[in-house]
Structure 1
């Protein structure tokens, strides 16, 4: 009888470990997600703009990061430089042509752990109707229950550097830098309905 009890206990512990190790699906929080990109303007300044999050899903497996993925849509309608005339100009055909290409998307193709809380996230970035592979250097800031939402939550930062001319957005290069520095910070939580299951 004791052997049977141990066998049942071992089975339950194994099931718990397996459940804990499974990939978890999170929804990115638009209120705590910023996709910032900056460029050099004629050598004088380094303006920054924010792309607001439309939708974003993050699947994260802390035990097996290769099973993780991210899929994000950024609507150009929410582009914000804090200068309304610049917002309008960046949405015009000589730059992003937002009427024709209203969204920017990123879909990961590979997630690789590189030690500690660092990851390489490779994916397809689509801007201005052009899709190119991009690698994000990501850092897991924190993973745990959100103190206010009471659901599992993760937070990441990520950085990369892009050439806008690669996406057909090369107006005024080199006076306005071709290179864009991208910095992302995000929080993502398990939707409450899913967390209750």
Structure 2
């Protein structure tokens, strides 16, 4: 019993220390979604999303202001569940995916909100070749060692509302709403040492 208690205490301390200082986590694209919702003539509120999202999150639980986020989204991975709409949205009168193949977000400031685990994440959002400052409302869902990978892992939800016309995508406003509501959910993990070494070699 004493051995089990000591082991449990050791594991708890190890888990806590893994999140005590700034660490960089790689976004898990298979458990990350960026969905957007718009209004169509006031009748419906369709939703689309992107299937190819990559990036990193640097998270410091003790000093949130040292945290940061960098994300890249492949516009060609857009999925509205309507094939013809996907094709149209990638054309020049909307996202113009051929000329602007990615959207990016790079944080400039992270502030802890009054409620524990809530944050204001300000940064530069680039869509359609246009960069604008935005602030996301973010919430930490969990920070723990993942039971499958045994790697330190964090999960966040975030949301923001933007005007697409600010990014030069104003076709059919106001019949199709200018305001776009964006919701993000993500998991990110510290890469295993072998994976990190392989990534470093590939970058050279």
TM-score for both structures, normalised by structure 1: 0.87
Distance 2:59 2:109 in 1: 12
* Partner secondary structure for residue 21 of structure 1: coil
Q: CA RMSD in A?
A: 1.9
Whether contact under 8 Å (1:74, 1:105) holds in the other structure is: yes
What's the CA shift for 1:21? 3.1
Whether contact under 8 Å (1:151, 1:195) holds in the other structure is: no
Listed one character per residue, the Cα deviations across residues 50-91 of structure 1 (whole Å, up to 9, x for unaligned) are 122332100000000000000000001110011111100100
Whether contact under 8 Å (2:19, 2:60) holds in the other structure is: no
**Unaligned residue ranges in structure 1 (runs of 5+):** 1-16
Listed one character per residue, the Cα deviations across residues 2-43 of structure 1 (whole Å, up to 9, x for unaligned) are xxxxxxxxxxxxxxx998632110000000000000000111
* Partner secondary structure for residue 113 of structure 2: strand
TM-score for both structures, normalised by structure 2: 0.85
Query: Structure 1 residues 98 and 150, CA, compared in 2 at 3 Å: closer, same or farther?
Result: same
Poorly superposed stretches of 4+, deviation over 2 Å: 17-22, 194-197
Distance 1:175 1:187 in 2: 35
Distance 1:56 1:93 in 2: 26
Q: Which residues in structure 2 correspond to 1:78-157 (within 5 Å)?
A: 78-115=77-114, 116-157=116-157
Distance 2:45 2:18 in 1: 47
Match of 1:64 in 2: 63
What's the CA shift for 1:181? 0.5
Query: Structure 1 residues 194 and 68, CA, compared in 2 at 3 Å: closer, same or farther?
Result: farther
Distance 2:56 2:89 in 1: 27
Q: Which residues in structure 2 correspond to 1:1-197 (within 5 Å)?
A: 21-115=20-114, 116-193=116-193
Match of 1:7 in 2: none
Whether contact under 8 Å (1:37, 1:50) holds in the other structure is: yes
Distance 2:110 2:132 in 1: 17
Instruction: State the number of aligned residues.
Output: 181
**Unaligned residue ranges in structure 2 (runs of 5+):** 1-15, 198-204
